[in-house]
Amino acid sequence: MLGVTNEQKVRGHQRVPSDTKEFHEATKRDALLRLRKDLDNLLQTADDAKKTILQKEMCGFEALFHRFLQEDGPSVEWDRIQKLPQDAVKDYSSLKTPQESEIREMLNKLVVIKLNGGLGTSMGCHGPKSVIPVRNDLTFLDLTVQQIEHLNKTYGATVPLVLMNSFNTDDDTEKVIRKYKGFQVQIYTFNQSCYPRISRDSLLPVAKDFTIENDIEAWYPPGHGDFYQSFQNSGLLKKFLAEGREYCFLSNIDNLGATVDINILNRLLGDDRQGDKPIEFVMEVTDKTRADVKGGTLIHYENKLRLLEIAQVPKEHVDDFKSVKTFKFFNTNNIWARLESIERVLDAHTMNMEIIVNNKTLDNGMRVIQLETAVGAAMKCFDGGIGINVPRSRFLPVKKTSDLLLVMSNLYSLKYGSLVMSPQRMFPTTPLVKLGDNHFSKVKEFLGRFANIPDLIELDHLTVSGDVTFGRGVSLRGTVIIIANHGDRIDIPAGAILENKIVSGNMRILDH
C-alpha cells in the first residue's frame, strides 16, 4: 500500500464525485422505499369501498414522487431552445368557418371540460370559485351551462359538460348542479386526485390516515396536469370514446373567454390537415403584453412544441423569458386534445410532464412541499401538436376583484352566457386595473365600494388605493389614479366624470 503510484492517486481522487452520486442515489432509493411503506400504511386506514380508487391514486402519486427524485437540474437547457418553426403557431384569422350544415355533426364529436377544483378563498368567498356571481347574479357555472345549452339548442347537438372537481369543491358542486336538471346539457363530474403533502425535512407524507376531512391541510389537489390520469380513472374517457367523440376542449372555469370555437373545432375535424395525420393537441396562445410577462409560453425544443413556464427558467434568463420580443405568445390554458391520443399516451406510460414543486407552510408552522403538474406541459407527449394564436377576447380570466370590475362593467354585454366586448370600445384590449388589496380584495367589500359599476368604455388605466368609494353613474376615462392617504377617505361623487385625473389624499383633483 505504501508504494502508491501517481496514477493510482489521481484515480482515487476522482472517485469522490461518484461516491457523492452513489450517496444521493442511495438516499433517493431509501426515500422511495420509505414513502412506499408510508403510503401502504395510509391505505390500511382507508374505507374498503374506496380502496381500489385510492390505490390507483397513490400509484400515481408514487410515480410523481419517483420522477421528482430523479429530476436533476432544470428540465430545459436554455441554449437548446430552438426558434419556433414557421407553421408551429397558426393565426386564428387563417381558420375556415364550416358550413352551417356540418356544425351539428362536429359538435357531437366534442366534450367540453372545465377545471373546477379551485376555491374562492383568495377573493374572500366560501366554497367553489365557480359559484361566485360575476354578472347579473349569474355565476361562472351558470354562464358555462348557458353557453353549452345555447350550442345544443341552436344546432340540435348533444355536447356534454364535464367538471373536474377537487376534494375541496366536489360536495358543493354536486349540490349546485341539481338546479340544471331541466337544461339541455348533460353534466358529468369527476374528481382529480387527492395527494398527501410531504414534509420538506423527512420527505414523508404528513397525513396519518385517510380521513381527509379531519386533516384537510395534509392533502392537496395536484394541479391541472392531473386531468389526464384522473379522467381515465373516472371511466369517462372510455365512455366518450365509445360514443364516437373525438376531441375535448379544456379550460379554466374562471376564464370567461374560453367558449367553444367552431373554427378551431373545424380545423381539428376538417379535411385540411397536413397529410392524414390528425392534430392531437392544440394550445391556444395569444399575444403577450407587458401584463402577461409571467405567463407560460410555447417553445420548440428537441424538435417538439412544448410549454415553458417561468418556474423552469434559469434565474439568469428570467428577463429574456419576460421579453415580449423574444417570446411573443403566452398560453391561455385553453387546450384541445384528441381523446384517442390521450388514451394512447396514458396506456404507453409516456405522459411525462415537468414537476412544479410548490413550497407551503402549514398553520402549525410545518414546511411542506406539494408536487404538481400543468395540463399544457403534456403537449410534448403528443404528435402533431400546434399552437393557435387567438384573439385576446378568448382570455378573460377572473382571478381578482380588478378582473371582476371589468366583466361587470359596460365594457361587455352578455349574450347566451358569453361576454361580448362593447362595439363602443375603441381598442380590443381591456383597461389595466389595479385595486388596493387592503380595501378591495374581497368580493363583498369590493361590491360595497361601488353604488354601481362605473362607465369604463374609454378607460385605459385605473389605480385605486386606500379607502375610496364610488357614487352612482361615475365615468372613468383615460388614466385615472385615486389614492387616499392613510386615515383619509375619498368619496367620488355621483355622476363624476374623471378623465386623465389624479385624485389624492385630500380630495384634490389634478389633471394627469
CATH of domain 78-394: 3.90.550.10
Q: 401-504 belongs to which CATH class? A: mainly beta
pLDDT by residue (tens digit) across 17-52? 456 666 566 677 788 899 999 999 988 888 888 888
Contact 145, 161 (CB under 8 A): yes
Q: Are strands 187-191 and 161-165 parallel, antiparallel or unpaired?
A: parallel
Q: What is the pLDDT of residue 3?
A: 45
pLDDT by residue (tens digit) across 132-177? 999 889 999 999 999 999 999 999 999 999 999 998 899 999 999 9
Residue 200, CA atoms < 13 Å, CB-side half-sphere: 11
Cα–Cα distance list, 275 to 270, 282, 283, 379 (Å) = 12, 17, 21, 20
Cα–Cα distance list, 247 to 133, 224, 239, 282 (Å) = 30, 18, 13, 10
Task: Indicate the burial class of 361 (C-beta count within 10 angstroms; 0-12, 13-18, 19 or more).
Answer: exposed
Active site residues: 399
Q: What is the DSSP letter of 270?
A: S
Residue ranges per structural domain of the chain: 28-70, 78-394, 401-504
pLDDT exceeds cutoff 80 at 16:
no
DSSP-derived 3-state class of residue 356? strand
How much is the average pLDDT of 89-118?
A: 94
Sequence-distant (6+) residues with CB within 8 A of 136 are: 414
Q: In what order do the strands lie in the sheet with 110-116?
A: 89-91, 385-389, 281-287, 329-338, 247-252, 110-116, 161-165, 187-191
Q: How many residues does the chain have?
A: 512
| Inter-helix orientation angle 140-155/100-107, to 10° | 130
With 0.75 as the threshold, say if the pTM is over it: yes
Q: Per-residue confidence at 268, pLDDT binned at 50, 70, 90?
A: very high
Q: Which of 316, 264, 324, 245 is nearest to 292 (CA)?
A: 324
